[in-house]
């Protein structure tokens, strides 16, 4: 009887060991589907297509950022050091601040501290687009601007109302130098009304003004 019990136990163990890999594999498969599933069911129609799209969008966002930089949007515009007269003029109007590279650089440095540098980057990209005349270059730059600053999937998306977005979507059917004019104006107005007053009261502006004032006195 003892021998038959041991034989029976071995049979059960062998049977269990044969079944375990299949069960583990099934459980692993279900676990993977659960981790990647993008809807509540695990049917084949789901198959995580949106996860693939999201990965592609993230890769595209990284690629377009690099391409835009390669196309000539600098980290910092080249400009001579501002004079005391120029820095005083920035306080007179936002237009005077935005007219000079030194003014844009100082303002952009401030926007970076508020995590809204993308507004200036978008404005600069639109200015560059307006200078293009080659149709294929215009189309490519318009696409990159859209993906980097207009797409809701971009980490650098700028804040635009629905009307302007509709205009852009229509314009993108046939991109031109003026595809983003309405959006550029809206972002310009946003920076003027929202960020510019804070910039004028910021340490960045006051320190620059004080430094130039002291140099002027010493001279």
| Domain residue ranges of the chain, discontinuous segments joined by + | 84-216
Q: Which residue has the higher pLDDT, 73 or 152?
A: 152
**CATH assignment of 84-216, given 3.40.50.720, 3.90.650.10, 3.30.230.10, 1.10.167.10?**
1.10.167.10
Tell me: pLDDT of 42 over 90: no
Distance CA 213, CA 95 (A): 23
What pTM was computed for the model? Answer: 0.65
Give residue-wise pLDDT tens across range 58-84.
Answer: 454 444 433 433 344 445 678 789 999
């Amino acid at each position: 009887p003892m021998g038959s019990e041991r034989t029976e136990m071995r049979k059960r163990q062998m049977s269990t060991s044969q079944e375990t890999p299949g069960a583990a594999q099934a459980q692993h498969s279900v676990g993977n589907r659960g981790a990647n599933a993008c809807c509540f069911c695990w049917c084949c129609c789901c198959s995580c297509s949106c996860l693939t799209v999201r990965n592609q969008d993230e890769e595209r966002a990284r690629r377009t950022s690099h391409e835009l930089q390669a196309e000539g949007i600098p980290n910092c515009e080249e400009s001579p050091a501002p004079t005391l007269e120029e820095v005083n003029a920035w306080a007179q109007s936002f237009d005077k601040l935005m007219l000079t590279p030194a003014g844009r650089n100082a303002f952009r440095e401030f926007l970076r501290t508020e995590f809204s540098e993308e507004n200036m980057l978008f404005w600069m990209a639109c200015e560059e687009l307006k200078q293009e005349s080659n149709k294929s270059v215009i189309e490519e730059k318009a696409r990159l601007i859209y993906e980097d600053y207009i797409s809701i999937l971009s980490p650098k998306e700028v804040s635009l109302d629905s009307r302007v977005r509709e205009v852009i979507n229509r314009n993108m059917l046939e991109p031109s130098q003026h595809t983003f004019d309405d959006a550029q104006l809206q972002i310009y107005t946003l920076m003027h009304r929202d960020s510019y007053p804070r910039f004028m009261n910021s340490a960045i502006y006051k320190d620059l003004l004080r430094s130039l004032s002291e140099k002027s006195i010493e001279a």
